[in-house]
């Protein structure tokens, strides 16, 4: 018989999101278009409720015969992912309303994508992992192409789907090899099985498939195109909630299923990290579209996070949680800033069109400057402490070349980050921006406050929480 108490403790947030999603389908069928505007509040409350449940069942548990297992490490990631996902959903309503695409299906797709995030974070078995990845991926493909009248959005969805299907196939083939040579799909069983050539081949294919999901180089090609072509609120969601969840899942799989053969995968992850940092930083230098620039910035930041994974569980797990939390908050705020910049001709996406923002909207320019300085890793803003933790983890693990690449790519990134600041503060003013939705304003200011002030004051508390959460991996 099922132990319902253990099941609720282990996957309470996912059960909540599944129920909210199915209820939303029913409400949409009954209320039809009357549910469109209400659905965004409904979805945000569902995601914030899931975040609260992640804290309520923070110590985690195990259910379904070991198919799912949660601990403080994954519940930390769940809380952050669901919370930023709720904010991403709140700030989407105004954009979709202006483009006549405000439909409750958008909210339901976001909820089911978030359900997929929770499933992969809870996974302790290859079957559960793959089901969660496909739940997240299928919803994401549709979200990327949600603006049906936009050729760019349709192209983004098609590219994401084709490349995502290829990556899913590689992940599934790798998982089948791992099962074939270990005799089990359970992470704990895989970890205790004898190493073999076939098992290592399967592990490498799984790394390739998971690297696509986190947009790490050289499996990064889809990222700038999808970020540019997808509706801006969708880009904000992709850059925040699924990024946090996927990155922590990558680490969880490597630490839990393949932790005993770290010497076999550390160099592979280190190479991927180095390539991501270099390609992301140098690729962004030539970009003129702010969304494409943020796409390349995402690739570089995934590289920084992978330094913590390559450092291993003992040194890198806590550093990864700190870095990703600080990154996704800043990334969400920057995409909200892009949403805030709108003129009569439509959305402003060219970097050069930000000229004179300081004179026309000083509060927005200051908030975006704080977020840019944070994501660039400049002290004393929050992002600096995230990079510092990752850098220290790399040094402690003896990954000096990777730490040097981290520093060099961070310096290179200042070239495109400071260019945006210079244009906002010192270039001639452009045409006046239109009014901003209140939810977007709130998200920009809240993200800037958190990244620039709150984390600066409470960085020690965040570090303690993250490192305490990382110890849950040992349980």
> Can you state the angle between helices 104-122 and 35-56, rounded to 10 degrees?
20
Q: What is the pLDDT of residues 12-36, one digit of tens each?
A: 999 999 999 999 999 999 988 888 8
Phi/psi of residue 218, nearest 5 degrees: -90, 20
- Least confidently predicted of 71-75, 331-335, 379-383, 452-456: 452-456
Structure tokens at 32: 């039809």
What is the pLDDT at residue 408?
Answer: 95
Task: Look at residue 268 and tell me whether its pLDDT is greater than 90.
Answer: yes
Q: Quick one: pLDDT band at residue 2, thresholds 50, 70, 90?
A: low
Cα distance between residue 399 and residue 393, in whole Å = 9
Burial of residue 271 (CB within 10 Å: 0-12, 13-18, 19+) is middle
Average pLDDT of every residue of the chain: 89
Contact between 144 and 233 under an 8 Å Cβ cutoff? The reply is no
Cα distance between residue 78 and residue 245, in whole Å = 7
In the chain, % of residues over pLDDT 70 = 96
Q: What is the pLDDT of residues 66-86, one digit of tens each?
A: 899 999 999 999 999 999 999
What is the pLDDT at residue 283?
Answer: 92
Mean pLDDT, residues 266-286 taken together? 94
Q: What is the pLDDT of residues 344-377, one digit of tens each?
A: 656 677 788 788 778 878 888 888 889 999 899 8
Q: What is the pLDDT of residues 297-315, one digit of tens each?
A: 999 999 999 999 999 998 8
Cα distance between residue 377 and residue 379, in whole Å = 6
Quote the domain boundaries for residue 60.
Answer: 4-474
Mean pLDDT, residues 230-241 taken together? 90
- Number of Cβ within 10 Å of residue 127's Cβ equals 13
Cα distance between residue 90 and residue 300, in whole Å = 27
Mean pLDDT, residues 245-259 taken together? 94
Question: 15 CB contacts (<8 Å, ≥6 apart)?
Answer: 7, 8
What is the pLDDT at residue 468?
Answer: 92
What is the pLDDT at residue 309?
Answer: 96
What do you get for the CA distance between the two ends of the chain, in Å?
Answer: 25
What is the pLDDT at residue 358?
Answer: 82
- DSSP type of residue 261: G
Sign of CA dihedral 214, 217, 218, 221: positive
Contact between 304 and 297 under an 8 Å Cβ cutoff? The reply is no
Phi/psi of residue 343, nearest 5 degrees: -120, 180
Structure tokens at 369: 């400057």
Cα distance between residue 314 and residue 470, in whole Å = 8
Cα distance between residue 179 and residue 442, in whole Å = 48
What is the pLDDT at residue 305?
Answer: 96
Domain count for the chain, please give it. Answer: 1
Mean pLDDT, residues 222-249 taken together? 91
Contact between 121 and 243 under an 8 Å Cβ cutoff? The reply is no
What is the pLDDT at residue 431?
Answer: 67
Measured at the CA of 332, the angle between CA 330 and CA 336, to 5 degrees, comes to 115
What is the pLDDT at residue 146?
Answer: 87
Measured at the CA of 16, the angle between CA 11 and CA 21, to 5 degrees, comes to 125
Cα distance between residue 7 and residue 129, in whole Å = 17
Question: 288 CB contacts (<8 Å, ≥6 apart)?
Answer: 350, 351, 352
What is the pLDDT at residue 354?
Answer: 80
Cα distance between residue 314 and residue 467, in whole Å = 10
Cα distance between residue 390 and residue 279, in whole Å = 19
Cα distance between residue 475 and residue 471, in whole Å = 7
Nearest in space to 207 (alpha carbons), one of 240, 159, 167, 179: 167
Q: What is the pLDDT of residues 175-187, one digit of tens each?
A: 999 999 999 999 9
- Number of Cβ within 10 Å of residue 35's Cβ equals 18
Burial of residue 252 (CB within 10 Å: 0-12, 13-18, 19+) is buried
What would the DSSP string read from start to end of 147-216?
-TT-HHHHHHHHHHHHHHHHHHHHHHHHHHHHHHHHS--BHHHHHHSPP-HHHHHHHHHHHHHHHHHTT-
């Amino acid at each position: 018989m099922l132990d319902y108490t253990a099941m609720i403790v282990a996957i309470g947030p996912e059960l909540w999101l599944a129920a909210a999603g199915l209820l939303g389908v029913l409400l949409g069928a009954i209320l039809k278009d009357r549910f469109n505007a209400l659905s965004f509040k409904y979805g945000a409350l569902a995601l914030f409720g899931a975040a609260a449940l992640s804290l309520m069942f923070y110590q985690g548990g195990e259910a379904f015969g070991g198919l799912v297992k949660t601990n403080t490490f994954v519940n930390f990631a769940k809380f952050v992912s669901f919370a930023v996902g709720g904010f991403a959903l709140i700030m989407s309503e105004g954009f979709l309303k202006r483009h006549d695409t405000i439909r409750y299906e958008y909210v339901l797709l976001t909820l089911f994508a978030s359900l997929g995030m929770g499933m992969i974070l809870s996974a302790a078995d290859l079957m559960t992992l793959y089901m969660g990845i496909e739940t997240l991926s299928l919803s994401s493909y549709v979200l990327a192409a949600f603006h049906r009248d936009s050729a760019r959005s349709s192209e983004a969805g098609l590219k994401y789907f084709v490349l995502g299907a290829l990556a899913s196939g590689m992940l599934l083939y790798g998982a089948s090899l791992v099962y074939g040579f270990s005799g089990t799909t359970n992470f704990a069983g895989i970890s205790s099985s004898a190493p073999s050539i076939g098992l290592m081949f399967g592990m490498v294919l799984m790394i390739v498939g998971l690297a696509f999901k986190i947009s790490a180089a050289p499996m990064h090609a889809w990222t700038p195109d999808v970020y540019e072509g997808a509706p801006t609120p969708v880009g904000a969601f992709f850059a925040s909630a699924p990024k946090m969840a996927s990155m922590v899942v990558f680490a969880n799989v490597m630490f839990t299923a393949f932790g005993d053969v770290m010497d076999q995968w550390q160099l592979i992850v280190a190479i991927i990290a180095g390539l991501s940092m270099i390609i992301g930083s140098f690729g962004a230098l030539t970009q003129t579209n702010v969304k494409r620039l943020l796409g390349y910035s995402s690739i570089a930041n995934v590289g920084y996070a992978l330094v913590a994974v390559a450092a291993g569980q003992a040194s890198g797990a806590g550093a990864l949680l700190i870095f990703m939390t600080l990154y996704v908050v800043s990334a969400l705020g920057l995409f909200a800033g892009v949403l805030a910049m709108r003129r009569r001709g439509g959305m402003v996406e060219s970097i050069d069109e930000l000229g004179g923002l300081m004179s026309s909207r000083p509060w927005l320019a200051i908030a975006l400057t704080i977020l840019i300085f944070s994501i660039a890793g400049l002290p004393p803003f929050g992002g600096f402490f995230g990079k510092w933790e990752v850098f220290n983890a790399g040094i402690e693990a003896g990954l000096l070349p990777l730490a040097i690449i981290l520093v060099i790519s961070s310096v290179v990134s200042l070239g495109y980050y400071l260019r945006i600041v210079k244009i906002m503060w010192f270039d001639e003013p452009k045409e006046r921006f239109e009014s901003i939705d209140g939810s977007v304003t709130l998200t920009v200011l809240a993200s800037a406050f958190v990244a620039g002030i709150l984390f600066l004051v409470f960085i020690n508390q965040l570090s303690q929480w993250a490192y305490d959460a990382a110890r849950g991996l040992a349980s």
